[in-house]
Amino acid sequence: MARIRGALPAVVSFVLILAVAMVGLLATRAATSTADRTHRDDRQRLETTLSGLGDQYILFTFKEEFDFASSGPWSLHAGDSGDTGRLRRFVQNSPLTGYGAALVDLAGNPLNAWAPSTGLPSPTDPGFAPLKAALLGGKPGLSSVMSVHALSLVAYGVPVMIDNKPKAILVAFSRLDTSQLQQYVATLHYGRTGYTALVDGNGTVVVSANPAMIGRRLPTSPALTAVLKGQTGFGAYQDPSAGGLVAAYHPLSFAGWGGITAQSSAEFFGPIHRRGFEVEAALALLLVLAAALIAVHSHRRHTALSREVHTITALWEARERFRLAFEESPVGMALLSIDDEANGRMVQVNRSLADLTGIEPAELEQLTLQAITHPDDRSANAARASEVIEGVIPSYELEMRFVHADGHPIWVLFHGSVVRSPEGTPLYGLAQVQDVTGRKQAEERLAHLALHDPLTGLANRSLLMDRIAQALAGSARRSTKVGVLYVDLDRFKAVNDSLGHAIGDEVLITTGQRITDAIRPVDTAARIGGDEFVVVCPDLGSAEDAIAIAARVESSIRQPLVVEGHQVTVEASVGISFGGGVECYAEMLLRDADSAMYNVKQQARNAQEPAAQ
């Protein structure tokens, strides 16, 4: 009986340690499972973002086509040189299509087209099927991938509306390997085995981080089958050549297109599972050591002390593991006080957060989260944090801005949650911060390219027409007039032919800057063709005001300039249209200014001719 009483503390201690180890094992597996799920969710969000960018790119392209198709006038006669010339200028100045364009009648018969020497796909190419189906349904159309002389192309089709009725179809072609979307996707890489791609409705690659995949059909897989059915998800499967793979997929909104990001299962889950195995092995070793100590020293009086020392060591190791996981995390992390007196103060931060903000950890721990949040985002973040503390929601994610130590904003994906006691009382807040500035900048660059000339940085035709429409709306409210100056450089072709296109481009860039310097701050300068510029002048009192601005523009352009040791003198012909009120519209003012400019060219160089409006 005495032996049983002596062994009882050892047995109890062994059971307790076994329970602690089992709890640690379960907690480790739960943490690994949570990390797996978070990793999958992050990959799915990235795929959703990529598909969203693909949709935005297609919408920007359709908008550019609609604006050009509605700019008029069109003859819609086969072989018309005017229509062909307009198609050429559109293609040469488009940042989104830029390969070729064609006009076809409503029966699908070609009218006019412009393309490089490699030509356009045959009208009977099966790739046109989704484009035709969308147009028949009254929507803009997008083709599948087509091939011409080893070049992979897609086509965008919109109706040409005259008197609010479709009279023809404008089809614009984009070369996939040089598109703006491909340039962005080419920067996305996922380890050694991952790839990301957008595919058409047949599973053919449209853009990819691996340019060699463009124009090739992806091998059949559950992920490809699902995305072609319009499904969103994340899945694992076996590939005959690549082995185990995981893939995130998300459909686009047009022509059955979709996005896929795939990676080997071992590379995707490997780091998380290895860390979980290491922790489990440490826990198992801890259990074995504790059992051995109890078995050897159970008959001695200092057994209790040995167990206590061992338990303290184990707790210290667990705390050290948490410290290392917190401090070495590649994601910025902070523990936040939620006491009334110090609400939101960062009581502990890691090095990743310090590197992100440019503020040392010791300084950050004296600040509140609101102190490093951009003023415009503080109220939104505080409102969501209050909902978490009050238990309305368990956690939240918010795209917001931090302010770097040097003053510039940083876009972050902020994840906020609260650690609670077993009774549900909030103990402290946990913030996890991921830098997404690069993605936000890529989105802004894509939007800028859709509205500005890539060479000069001036407004393109789409933005120009919007500014004219805004100016006309303002003129109707304020009883003022709007002037449009159509500027065409004289004999600019001679500069290109004699000095080369590189110097010609520099001349165009300088000319755009000189026009901007010569006009008023409220005016808008745009480049709409090779050597054609347009200036929109709102809130004018008379035609003489427009003529005075045109004189300044023409005088500024005429000043000699030196490019790479060559002195170049460029002159311009300027056509002016002037009007306003509810009876005036943007296309009319641009057309009349264009017509006036051509009349100036016929009469004399370096003159301005106003067009009555």
Whether the predicted pLDDT of 491 surpasses 90: no
Cα–Cα distance, 388 to 444 (Å, whole number) = 31
- Domain membership flag for residue 391: yes
Of 272-276, 437-441, 545-549, the poorest mean pLDDT is in 272-276
Q: What is the pLDDT of residue 96?
A: 85
- Domain membership flag for residue 300: yes
What mean pLDDT comes out for the span 459-474? Answer: 92
Neighbours of 383 (CB within 10 A): 11
Whether the predicted pLDDT of 467 surpasses 60: yes
Q: Are strands 165-175 and 395-403 parallel, antiparallel or unpaired?
A: unpaired
Are 379 and 315 members of one domain?
Answer: no
What mean pLDDT comes out for the span 223-242? Answer: 89
363-386: pLDDT as tens digits: 998 999 999 999 999 999 989 988
Q: What is the pLDDT of residue 613?
A: 43
- Domain membership flag for residue 442: no
Q: What is the pLDDT of residue 610?
A: 57
409-428: pLDDT as tens digits: 999 999 999 998 888 888 88
- Choosing from 296, 326, 356, the residue where a domain stops is 326
Q: How far is CA 460 from the centre of its chain?
A: 21
Of 217-231, 268-282, 320-334, 453-467, the poorest mean pLDDT is in 268-282
Q: Are strands 481-490 and 524-527 parallel, antiparallel or unpaired?
A: unpaired
Domains contained in the chain, number: 3
What mean pLDDT comes out for the span 91-118? Answer: 91
Question: Which is it for the CA torsion 362, 367, 372, 373, positive or negative?
Answer: positive
Whether the predicted pLDDT of 30 surpasses 90: no
> Going along 328-393, which residue ranges are E strands?
332-336, 346-349
- Choosing from 411, 436, 461, the residue where a domain stops is 436
CA Rg, the chain, in Å? 33
Q: Which of the pair, 80 or 23, is modelled with greater confidence?
A: 80
Cα–Cα distance, 72 to 87 (Å, whole number) = 11
Band of residue 294 on the pLDDT scale cut at 50, 70, 90: low
Are 474 and 504 members of one domain?
Answer: yes
Are 470 and 407 members of one domain?
Answer: no
What mean pLDDT comes out for the span 316-340? Answer: 81
Are 412 and 492 members of one domain?
Answer: no
Are 415 and 495 members of one domain?
Answer: no
- Residue 356, both tokens: 């992100």
- Choosing from 301, 326, 351, the residue where a domain stops is 326
Band of residue 279 on the pLDDT scale cut at 50, 70, 90: low
Q: Are strands 532-540 and 561-563 parallel, antiparallel or unpaired?
A: unpaired
Are 44 and 102 members of one domain?
Answer: yes
Neighbours of 8 (CB within 10 A): 11
Cα torsion through 443, 448, 454, 456, rounded to 10: -140
Peptide bond into 73 cis (omega under 30): yes
Band of residue 438 on the pLDDT scale cut at 50, 70, 90: confident
Of 104-113, 294-303, 543-552, the poorest mean pLDDT is in 294-303
- Domain membership flag for residue 541: yes
- Domain membership flag for residue 320: yes
Q: Are strands 409-420 and 608-611 parallel, antiparallel or unpaired?
A: unpaired
Give the residue numbers spanning the domain of 556.
Answer: 452-611
| CATH at residue 534 | 3.30.70.270
Cα–Cα distance, 99 to 148 (Å, whole number) = 12
Band of residue 195 on the pLDDT scale cut at 50, 70, 90: confident
Q: What is the pLDDT of residue 483?
A: 95
Among residues 324, 249, 271, which one has the least CA distance to residue 36? Answer: 271
Q: How far is CA 481 from CA 381, 448, 472, 578, in A?
A: 46, 29, 8, 7
Whether the predicted pLDDT of 612 surpasses 50: no
- Domain membership flag for residue 430: yes
- Domain membership flag for residue 441: no
Neighbours of 42 (CB within 10 A): 13
Are 288 and 356 members of one domain?
Answer: no
Whether the predicted pLDDT of 319 surpasses 90: no
Band of residue 128 on the pLDDT scale cut at 50, 70, 90: very high
Among residues 505, 507, 478, 503, which one has the least CA distance to residue 571? Answer: 507
- Domain membership flag for residue 531: yes
Which residues sit opposite 197 in a β-bridge? 208, 260
Residues of the chain with pLDDT > 90: what percent?
50
Question: Which is it for the CA torsion 572, 573, 579, 582, positive or negative?
Answer: negative
Helix (H, G, I), strand (E, B) or coil at 232: coil
Q: How far is CA 522 from the centre of its chain?
A: 30
Are 168 and 293 members of one domain?
Answer: yes
140-177: pLDDT as tens digits: 999 999 999 989 999 999 999 888 899 999 999 999 99
Residue that the structure tokens 């590649």 belong to: 330
Are 524 and 596 members of one domain?
Answer: yes
| CATH at residue 371 | 3.30.450.20
Are 264 and 146 members of one domain?
Answer: yes
Q: What is the largest CA-CA distance in the chain?
A: 125
Are 161 and 22 members of one domain?
Answer: yes
Of 112-126, 174-188, 292-306, 430-444, the poorest mean pLDDT is in 292-306
Are 346 and 318 members of one domain?
Answer: no
